[in-house]
Amino acid sequence: MPPIIGIDLGTTNSLCAIFQDGTPQLIPNAFGENLTPSIVCVTEEGALLVGAAARELRVTQPDRCAACFKRFMGSHEQLSLAGKQYTPVELSSLVLKSLRDDACHHLGTDVTEAVITVPAYFNDNQRQATKQAGELAGLRVKRIVNEPTAAALTYGFHDRDSEKKILVIDLGGGTFDVTYMDVFEGTLEIVSTAGESFLGGEDFTDRLLASLLQKQGRQLETAELQEPHRVARLRQQCEMAKRQLTKLEAVKIKLPDAAGHIADDSLTVNVTRTAYAKLVEPLIERLKQPVAKALRDGRASPDNIDDVILVGGATRMPAVQEFVRRYFSKEPLCRFNPDEVVALGAAVQAALIADDQAVDDLVMTDVCPHTLGVETVKEFANEVKPGYFTPIIHRNTTIPVSREELFRTVAPNQREVHVVVYQGEHRRVEQNLKIGELKVTGIPPGPAGKEFYIRFTYDLNGILEVEAYVLASPKKYRTVLTHNARGLSQAELDEAIQKLQSLKYYPREDLENQRLLRYCERLVGEISPFQRPQLESAIDHFESAMSSGDKESVQVAQTTLLQTLSMLGYDFRGRGE
Ligand code: ADP
Ligand code: MG
């Protein structure tokens, strides 16, 4: 049987895992690391870099790099990268392709099937976009799984015999998800889920960044346009400071100049953990509502919860852990690495799909995260008002699910009905997300009030099928919303594949060298002017060896460059973020 890999396609980092020898295992990338930054960059030579090498370039050449594109999945937003426009689907597919290549290399076999995770709060469009990104990367997407569900699967897999009520809190780079579930005798029942798709670790970094800029009399949005290099470098400094504040009581942040350079005598700002906690209080405050909503929907209260599981890199922040402690009067659990637990769970899900013996006593049920329904009219004292939302499947209903509702025509001799499907929690459709439509014709003439049924069937991937039929007519109308206009047509898919193929890929063996080169290029702007010629000459030597393509001279030049770096006091292999 061909392997099915599990992929956590994150806003900040992506990972890939496989279920092997009875347990989920992470697959390292070309650098031997488990985390691949979800960053894509096109170099001046028109070549493509994904991951850590692209992250190096993001600091010096922000306009050649795209990051955080997961935030725009399912929207019509395009991101500009080295002068060309790319959709979030295309950019995500490049990350997926890189993970797939790593998996093929690691497993020594072709990989064509995957389970991909998405935030529970992703809507139908965003899920569909994720599936398309998989297709573009040459992967058949066997299942889309909610990230917190995947995290829960990792815990459930390793702790099958317990009976517990668990809350999973997942704060990643860009999204926040809360999932409440019940575990008993190997059965994981997801009871409710809630979240916010625009709240994550990046917002914490940006808050610090905005406050530093504000002290200099600048607004983040305008500074980003006017001085992209300064902002990119300062953002990197803030990201580092934020992480250090997880361990340290205070940190110093060096302020870069307009070109994004930092020197020994650059101005520094001191930030204490207390000051940072105060700064991010409004963000911490925003964690409360989804937590309360998930508990309310699951008819639970904070003291019903046995374990609170933390997932996502941003839950490492003391302020977040402190919030959990206060809210639940309980110490949160982080038995597994919060960055890795989702990918491992995706691999467990893949094992469930493949009927792997090691999981035959594990059962999982999930819920649909949003309410699904149709647009209807309401009658108020002789006045008929359109635009109301009538739910058919309520949020947090266990899936798969199929529900039918009876509706009536509103006008005499009404021969057809236009069924418009929405997803969301608002009373009025205009505030919800339209996800498809269906036309029912052939209603027999007669007075208003002719009955017809609408049936919604929601599958395990979060994909909706809509059926409608009129009682008096044998004809059924049916649509699977994913095959509706929102999907890419084959022609569009082919076009996207061609566009991506025009990018030049570095051979796998070259990636480490590319990363080293980008790292050194960034250092040139940072080290003291006295050291610069020495570093530049080592880089030139290395670059020319690389373009010669001669393996041996690349090796020699690489050793010289690494020695030069360590003489100047920098450690490429042991570098921090
Ligand atoms: P995603 O799933 O969205 O890709 P991750 O789970 O990888 O996100 O988490 C990434 C976020 O976690 C980033 O915003 C990063 O800054 C934050 N993060 C990682 N490590 C730490 C740390 N030690 N302290 C604070 N934040 C951290
Ligand atoms: Mg994540």
DSSP string, 261-309: ---TT--EEEEEHHHHHHHTHHHHHHHHHHHHHHHHHTT--GGG-SEEE
Structure tokens at 295: 């508990």
| CATH label of the domain that carries residue 413 | 2.60.34.10
> In Å, how far are 69, 114, 204, 501, 503 from 97, measured between CA atoms?
15, 11, 29, 12, 13
147: annotated active-site residue: yes
- Which of 463, 487, 502 is a domain's end point? 502
- Cβ of 313 closer than 6 Å to ligand 1, yes or no, is yes
Nearest ligand to the C-alpha atom of residue 151 = 2
Residues 15 and 153 in one domain: yes
Range(s) of the domain holding residue 385: 372-502
Out of 339, 341, 342, 577, give the residue to mutate to test ligand 1, the one with the largest number of ligand atoms within 8 Å of its CB: 339
**Which ligand 1 atom sits nearest the alpha carbon of residue 13?**
4
Between the CA of 382 and the centroid of ligand 2 the distance, in Å, is 51
CA dist., res. 36 & res. 259, Å (int): 28
- Number of structural domains (the chain) is 4
Distance 455 CA to ligand 2 centre (A): 34
CA distance 468 to 170: 38
Does 175 lie in the same domain as 75? yes
How many whole angstroms separate alpha carbon 16 and alpha carbon 103? 7
Judgement on whether residues 314 and 458 belong to the same structural domain of the protein: no
State whether 289 and 408 are in the same domain.
no
244 and 345 share one domain: no
Q: Which residue's structure tokens are 């639970």?
A: 300
Q: Tell me, what CATH number does 248's domain have?
A: 3.90.640.10
140 and 184, same domain (yes or no):
yes
Q: Are residues 122 and 35 in the same domain?
A: yes
- Nearest Cα residue to atom 22 of ligand 1: 243
- CB of 12 within 6 A of ligand 1: the answer is yes
Judgement on whether residues 353 and 421 belong to the same structural domain of the protein? no
Q: Are residues 185 and 215 in the same domain?
A: no
Give me the tens of pLDDT residue by residue for the chain, a chain 577 residues long: 789 999 999 999 999 999 999 999 999 999 999 999 999 999 888 889 999 989 988 888 888 999 999 989 988 889 988 888 999 999 999 999 999 999 999 999 999 999 999 988 888 888 889 999 999 999 999 999 999 899 989 988 888 878 899 999 999 998 899 999 998 888 889 999 998 888 999 999 999 999 999 998 999 999 998 999 999 999 999 999 999 999 999 999 999 998 888 888 889 999 999 999 999 999 999 999 999 999 999 999 999 999 999 999 999 999 999 999 999 999 998 888 999 999 999 999 999 999 999 998 888 888 988 899 999 998 887 788 899 999 999 999 998 899 999 999 988 999 889 999 999 999 999 999 888 888 888 888 889 888 889 999 988 877 788 988 887 777 777 776 653 334 566 777 778 777 777 777 777 778 888 889 988 988 887 788 788 889 999 999 998 888 887 888 889 999 999 999 998 888 887 654 4
> Is there a single domain that holds both residue 150 and residue 175?
yes
Last residue of a domain, one of 256, 281, 306: 281
| 8 is annotated as an active-site residue | yes
Asked if residues 487 and 132 have their Cβ atoms less than 8 Å apart, the reply is: yes
Of 298, 333, 367, which marks where a domain is finished?
A: 367
Gap from CA of 339 to ligand 1 centroid (Å): 8
**Measured CA distances, 428 to 390, 424, 425, 435, 456 (Å):** 9, 10, 9, 15, 19
Query: What is the value of pTM for the model shown?
Result: 0.84
> Residues 140, 144, 147, 153: what is their CA dihedral angle, to the nearest 10 degrees?
-90
Task: Report DSSP state, residue 509.
Answer: G
* β-bridge mates for residue 187, sequence order: 184, 363
> Which tokens sit at 426?
């608002």
Same domain, 219 and 135: no
503: amino acid identity, one letter: L
Q: What does the DSSP 8-state code read for residue 482?
A: G
- Nearest CA owner, ligand 1 atom 20: 313
Q: Is the CB of 243 under 6 A from ligand 1?
A: yes
- Short-list 193, 127, 134, CA closest to 464: 127
The burial class, CB within 10 Å (0-12 / 13-18 / 19+), for 401 is middle
Using a 6 Å cutoff on CB, does residue 177 contact ligand 1?
no
Same domain membership, residue 238 and residue 130? no
CATH number at residue 119: 3.30.420.40
